[in-house]
Amino acid sequence: MTAAAPFVAAAVQAEPCWLEVDAGVEKAAGLIAEAAANDARLVAFPETWIPGYPHFLWLGSQAWGMQFVQRFHENSVTVGDEAFQRLARAAADNDIAVVFGASERDRGSLYMA
């Protein structure tokens, strides 16, 4: 029996582009390409990497944190939107599987996807 070829996976530990979906997608595409260039077959991003984990919820009072909610909502992705398609293209162009953590916008609701 021959040994199986090693499987290379990458885990992203990079700061997101806080509350900026376009910059986040661009940075993610670069990290996807970097992982693939280093022979990874899978790259995984942290929870809500786009638009960044909503840490503002714990920085002060709930009333204070509300100032970020609209921007967080606006910079979340929608399945099939331009940002989503750019991430899918980056995965396809680099022939790599991507596990991506994002805030998903569906009408007025947000989901950690």
Length of the chain: 113
With beta carbons less than 8 A apart as the criterion, state whether 90 and 98 touch. Answer: yes
CA 16/CA 18 separation, integer angstroms = 6
CA 86/CA 94 separation, integer angstroms = 12
What is the dihedral angle through the alpha carbons of 24, 107, 73, 101, rounded to the nearest 10 degrees? -40
Provide the whole-model pTM.
Answer: 0.91
Q: Is 50 helix (H, G, I), strand (E, B) or coil?
A: strand
pLDDT 10s digits, 41-68? 999 999 999 999 998 888 888 898 899 9
Residue type, 70: Q
pLDDT 10s digits, 4-29? 888 999 999 999 999 999 999 999 99
